[in-house]
Structure 1
Amino acid sequence: MGFANNLVEGLDPRSKIISFLSIILCMVLTPITRLKDFGLYFLLILAIAFIAKITPRQILKRMFFLIPFILFVAIFIPFIKEGNVYWSIKIGYWQLRVTYEGVWTFLNVIIKSGLSIILLVIASSTTTFPDFLQGMEMLRMPRLLVILMSFMYRYIFVLFDEAKRLMRARALRYFGSRYSEQLWIIGYMIGVLFIRTFERARRIYSAMTIRGFTGEIRSIKRFQFSYIDFLFITGIIISLLFIVSGIVYKLEHMKINNAHLWQAL
């Protein structure tokens, strides 16, 4: 396969899936108290973004739609997580307490989710969804999962169009009513959309069965591992080994205690 505009975009999708999942797995398993390690993860992800020629503006533009959902979930953690009280305030009959454990859990969710979103932005900017599915297929991922993701990608836009038609029909017939009545109408629209989705899925399944669909996803592209893919995966794994081994803390220990390098390692 020839290379595209940048190195990462021209890689085999399997190498990107393996590398990015390895980074996410290491980040999830790293304790949040090792903040310097997450700084190294951030530098590693920035290096990948630089190689992929993705600007910070592109990353922030896509993260803008996802970060609010993470904040909405995580903002309540410092107040509901039990532990040692760090700060408290009384508002009327309510006593709000922020705990140390809650703050660390909040940082854990925000930092790991934020770095994972940046990786997701890089992956989506350098890999088309059909190529991603084919990479999963070649990695022997569960076929049912790959098929479901393929159908979701193909028909999610159809469902969006169906929802827009329902909203347009509601807007043309709306003459003003109470808020409770609007909630009833929205619930009715959700039910109608679910029924139409179920009926469409049944028709699609019948049409595919008649045409002899066996569950195999075919593509005109043929991917093949190259030495560039091998070097990319090797570089990511070596970087992760340095981070996971705590090399930064060991070098600091060597500097403080004037120890030799082999003693610190």
Structure 2
Amino acid sequence: MGVRAVRRAPGGGRPPGPGARPFLLKRLLIEVPFVAFAVLMPFVAEGERVDVLGLSLSVNGLWGAWNVLAKGTLGVAASVLLASTTELRELLLGLQRLRLPPLLVQIASFMIRYGDVITDEMRRMRIARESRGFEARGIRHWGVLAKSAGALFIRSYERGERVHLAMVSRGYAGSMPVIDEVTASRAQWSYALALPFAALVVCLLGWTL
């Protein structure tokens, strides 16, 4: 089973346009709990106080809120942009070029490749149980679910052994061959450096203010 590509942000490899903004903003909503926590920090933190617009705020709380907002926003934005514009296969190749241990790269690769296979196996087992009138309603049914989990583990293990033997018989030596060598263009480098540059600006503002 081939690697499924992550849904790309509107615009593909082009600079983000108006259609990409709602796409990214929706996924940045995961940061809302951290923003709420950061807003409360100046009010509940202890230490030196300062008056801002008639409100008594903690200096330590303000710095803590700034750290949470800056680091959280940059981290979430980087993750969303990476997942939205980079296919999983390209991401694994990038990790391999960054000298991540080959074993970890291969584990991640097989996890992505066969995640859907295991999920489909679970679905078939659930359908088989339901076709026999089984319905988990309480603790007394946990034994059946535990046996199903054990059977799924054994099937997955045996499948992994068969796949490994098939790969070894075809010359597998611990790393997957790179079929198409892709190099980044200047435009892609400029897009990639935009976020670290923004992080540097934020750090400089934090040191100077």
Pairwise TM-score range, normalised by the shorter structure: 0.5 to 0.7
CA shift for structure 1 position 227:
2.1
CA shift for structure 1 position 180:
1.5
**Structure 1 residue matching 2:20: 3-state secondary structure:** coil
User: Which residue pairs with 2:168 in the alignment?
Assistant: 209
* Distance of aligned partners of 1:133 and 1:177 in 2 relative to their CA distance in 1, 3 Å threshold: closer
* Distance of aligned partners of 1:171 and 1:206 in 2 relative to their CA distance in 1, 3 Å threshold: same
Residues 9 and 52, structure 1, Cα contact 8 Å, conserved in 2 = no
C-alpha separation between the residues in 2 aligned to 1:249 and 1:109? 15
User: Which residue pairs with 1:222 in the alignment?
Assistant: 181
Residues 9 and 126, structure 1, Cα contact 8 Å, conserved in 2 = yes
Higher RCO (Cα < 8 Å, 6 or more apart): 1
Name whichever of 51-60 and 212-221 sits farther off. Answer: 51-60
Ranges of 4+ aligned residues in structure 1 off by more than 6 Å: 107-111
C-alpha separation between the residues in 2 aligned to 1:229 and 1:178? 53
C-alpha separation between the residues in 2 aligned to 1:63 and 1:159? 30
Q: Does 1:174 align with 2:133?
A: yes
CA RMSD between the two structures: 3.8
* Distance of aligned partners of 1:122 and 1:203 in 2 relative to their CA distance in 1, 3 Å threshold: same
**Which residue of 8, 20, 23 maps to 1:54?**
20
**Which residue of 154, 169, 174 maps to 1:195?**
154
Gap regions ≥5 residues in structure 1: 11-47, 76-82, 85-103, 253-265
* Distance of aligned partners of 1:180 and 1:199 in 2 relative to their CA distance in 1, 3 Å threshold: same
Gap regions ≥5 residues in structure 2: 1-9, 38-44, 47-62
C-alpha separation between the residues in 2 aligned to 1:119 and 1:238? 12
C-alpha separation between the residues in 2 aligned to 1:176 and 1:236? 50
Residues 118 and 156, structure 2, Cα contact 8 Å, conserved in 1 = yes
User: Which residue pairs with 2:52 in the alignment?
Assistant: none
Q: How many residues align?
A: 175
Alignment of 1:13-162 (within 5 A): 50=16, 54-57=20-23, 60=26, 67=30, 116-162=75-121
Q: Report the TM-score when normalising by structure 1.
A: 0.53
Residues 70 and 202, structure 2, Cα contact 8 Å, conserved in 1 = no
* Distance of aligned partners of 1:211 and 1:118 in 2 relative to their CA distance in 1, 3 Å threshold: same
Seq. identity, %: 29
**Structure 1 residue matching 2:141: 3-state secondary structure:** helix
Alignment of 1:253-264 (within 5 A): none
C-alpha separation between the residues in 2 aligned to 1:192 and 1:206? 21
User: Which residue pairs with 1:255 in the alignment?
Assistant: none
Q: Report the TM-score when normalising by structure 2.
A: 0.65
* Distance of aligned partners of 1:221 and 1:199 in 2 relative to their CA distance in 1, 3 Å threshold: same
User: Which residue pairs with 2:201 in the alignment?
Assistant: 242
User: Which residue pairs with 2:55 in the alignment?
Assistant: none
**Structure 2 residue matching 1:213: 3-state secondary structure:** coil
C-alpha separation between the residues in 2 aligned to 1:185 and 1:138? 45
